Amino acid sequence: MSLSSLGIGYRGRRGLTAFETTLLALAAASLVVLAVGGFVAFRRLSSIQAAIERLASEHRVQNEFMRRKASQDAIGNFAFSTLSAELHSTFGYVDLNYPLPLSSVEDVFKKDDAHRQKLIVLLRNYEGLARGINHGIYDEDVVRVALRGSMIGFARAFSIYIADRRTKLANPLLWIELTSLTERWASEDRARPQ
């Protein structure tokens, strides 16, 4: 049995057989379908990429809104005003431009140890806000506008107490988020033209 008896191959100089012509036509049609499919897939991928970019942009806007809202909620949830007012009436730290001596802080604690607990609670609250800012959970601008002066004044006034607690507890990272944030804010304030 030969290929020409099956209708495959050349029969002299007459050209392609019907089967070969059909195969060529199918191959050409397949190439056209493949090219059209590739073009459609490329267009589809381009539109999917545009949709992803649009969704990412909407997500960034929504995330920014939620960070700002979380910042406001965090400011409202902590009892800053009450604790801060009580500690300010005792220590008068808001208007100070220098750290309170450790002896005067300890003297107040000897008279009423509840002030020590209030100070630690406020330190923890401020530390939590600072950590949230440093890790991108809270929006720094929102917290800065609301509490910049209070946080800087508080950290400055109790810096000697903070350093003493770090030494006594052998924990150099104690309240580090608060102190590093307030030092950066104070440095930025000094660098800003008046």
- The answer, yes or no, to whether residue 158 has pLDDT greater than 80, is yes
Per-residue confidence band for 83, with pLDDT thresholds at 50, 70 and 90: confident
Which residues are CB-neighbours of 74 under 8 A, at least 6 positions away?
Answer: 128, 129, 132, 138, 143
Most confident of 8-12, 38-42, 73-77: 38-42
Q: Give residue for tokens 């005067």.
A: 104
* Confidence bin at 96 (pLDDT 50/70/90): confident
End-to-end CA distance of the chain, in Å?
102
DSSP 139-184: -HHHHHHHHHHHHHHHHHHTHHHHHHHHHHTT-TTTTHHHHHHHHH
**pLDDT surpassing 60 at residue 4:** no
For the record, the structure tokens of 119 come out as 């100070």
